[in-house]
Amino acid sequence: MAWFLESTVARLFAATVLVLGVGTLVGLVVLWPGDRGEARLGQGLAASSERGEVDRIETFPCSGFQTDECRRVEVRLLSGPDEGATSTLELGAGGLNPELSLGDQVRLTKDAGPAAETGDAPRYSLSDFERRSPMLWLLIAFALLVVLFGRLRGALSLLGLALSLLIVLLFIVPAILAGSSPLAVALIGSFAVMLVTIPLAHGIGPKSLAAILGTAASLVLTVLLALLFTNVAHLTGLSSEEATVLQVNEIGVSLQGLVLAGMVIGALGVLDDMTISQASAVMALRAANPAQRFGEIYSRGLEVGRDHVTATVNTLVLAYVGAALPILLIFSSGEIGFLDAANVEVVAKEIVATLVGSIGLIAAAPLTTALAATLSARIPDHQLERAGDGHSH
Residue 50 has pLDDT above 80, yes or no: yes
For residue 121, give the CATH number of its domain.
2.40.50
Task: For residues 260 and 257, give the distance between their C-alpha atoms in angstroms, rounded to a whole number.
Answer: 5
Closest CA to 89 of 55, 126, 64: 126
Residue 71 located in a structural domain: yes
Confidence of residue 316 (pLDDT cuts 50, 70, 90): confident
Query: Are residues 270 and 384 both part of a single domain?
Result: yes
Residue 93 located in a structural domain: yes
Query: Are residues 33 and 59 both part of a single domain?
Result: no
For range 181-202, the mean pLDDT: 90
Residue 294 has pLDDT above 80, yes or no: yes
Query: Are residues 212 and 94 both part of a single domain?
Result: no
Q: Which residues contact 89 (CB under 8 A, 6 or more apart)?
A: 72, 73, 74, 75, 108, 124, 125, 126
Q: pLDDT, tens digit, for every residue of 129-162?
A: 888 888 999 999 999 999 998 888 888 888 988 9
How many domains does one find in the chain? 2
Task: For residues 275 and 294, give the distance between their C-alpha atoms in angstroms, rounded to a whole number.
Answer: 18
* Greatest CA separation for the chain: 86
For range 305-323, the mean pLDDT: 80
Q: Which residues contact 245 (CB under 8 A, 6 or more apart)?
A: 41, 42, 45
Identify whether the C-beta of residue 360 lies closer than 8 Å to the C-beta of residue 221: yes
Residue 378 located in a structural domain: yes
Give pLDDT, residue 44: 46
Confidence of residue 115 (pLDDT cuts 50, 70, 90): very low
The domain boundary residue, chosen from 130, 161, 191: 130
Confidence of residue 113 (pLDDT cuts 50, 70, 90): low
Confidence of residue 188 (pLDDT cuts 50, 70, 90): very high
Q: Which residue has the higher pLDDT, 20 or 4?
A: 20
Residue 58 located in a structural domain: yes
Residue 156 located in a structural domain: yes
Confidence of residue 370 (pLDDT cuts 50, 70, 90): very high
Residue 313 located in a structural domain: yes
DSSP state letter for 72: E
Residue 15 has pLDDT above 70, yes or no: yes
Q: In Å, how far from its chain's centre is CA 1?
A: 36
* Average pLDDT, rounded, for the chain: 81
Query: Are residues 55 and 9 both part of a single domain?
Result: no
Query: Are residues 328 and 233 both part of a single domain?
Result: yes
Identify whether the C-beta of residue 13 lies closer than 8 Å to the C-beta of residue 371: yes
Least confident of 165-179, 251-265, 301-315: 251-265
Task: For residues 241 and 135, give the distance between their C-alpha atoms in angstroms, rounded to a whole number.
Answer: 26
Identify whether the C-beta of residue 194 lies closer than 8 Å to the C-beta of residue 268: yes
Query: Are residues 29 and 168 both part of a single domain?
Result: yes
Give pLDDT, residue 5: 66
Query: Are residues 195 and 227 both part of a single domain?
Result: yes
The domain boundary residue, chosen from 83, 109, 130: 130
For range 351-374, the mean pLDDT: 90
Give pLDDT, residue 48: 77
Give pLDDT, residue 245: 67
Give pLDDT, residue 4: 62
Query: Are residues 318 and 293 both part of a single domain?
Result: yes
Confidence of residue 1 (pLDDT cuts 50, 70, 90): very low
Closest CA to 211 of 7, 1, 16, 66: 16
Residue 253 has pLDDT above 90, yes or no: no
Query: Are residues 149 and 181 both part of a single domain?
Result: yes
198 burial (CB, 10 Å; 0-12 / 13-18 / 19+) is buried
Q: Which residues contact 330 (CB under 8 A, 6 or more apart)?
A: none
Task: For residues 202 and 297, give the distance between their C-alpha atoms in angstroms, rounded to a whole number.
Answer: 21
For range 295-315, the mean pLDDT: 86
- C-alpha distances in angstroms, 41 versus 126, 178, 246? 22, 12, 7
Give pLDDT, residue 25: 95
Q: pLDDT, tens digit, for every residue of 201-240?
A: 888 888 899 999 999 999 999 999 988 998 888 888 776 6
Give pLDDT, residue 313: 80
**Alpha helices, H only, 122-181:** 132-167, 173-177
Residue 393 has pLDDT above 50, yes or no: no
| b/e sequence 267-300, b meaning 16+ C-beta within 10 Å | bbbbbbbbbbbbbbbbbbbbbeeeebeeeebbeb
Query: Are residues 167 and 69 both part of a single domain?
Result: no
The domain in which residue 63 lies consists of 48-130
Residue 135 located in a structural domain: no
Q: pLDDT, tens digit, for every residue of 254-291?
A: 777 888 888 888 888 788 888 998 999 998 888 888 88
Identify whether the C-beta of residue 87 lies closer than 8 Å to the C-beta of residue 122: yes
For range 246-257, the mean pLDDT: 67
Q: Which residues contact 390 (CB under 8 A, 6 or more apart)?
A: 202, 203, 204, 205, 206, 207, 208, 280, 283
Residue 241 has pLDDT above 60, yes or no: yes
| Pairing between β-strand 69-77 and β-strand 86-91 as defined by DSSP bridges | antiparallel
Apex 225 CA angle, 317 and 217, nearest 5? 90
The top-scoring range by mean pLDDT among 84-98, 181-195, 336-350 is 181-195
DSSP state letter for 170: I
The domain boundary residue, chosen from 78, 101, 130: 130
Query: Are residues 76 and 35 both part of a single domain?
Result: no
Query: Are residues 116 and 26 both part of a single domain?
Result: no
Q: Is the Cα dihedral 40, 43, 47, 48 positive or negative?
A: positive
Task: For residues 305 and 324, give the distance between their C-alpha atoms in angstroms, rounded to a whole number.
Answer: 28
Residue 136 located in a structural domain: no
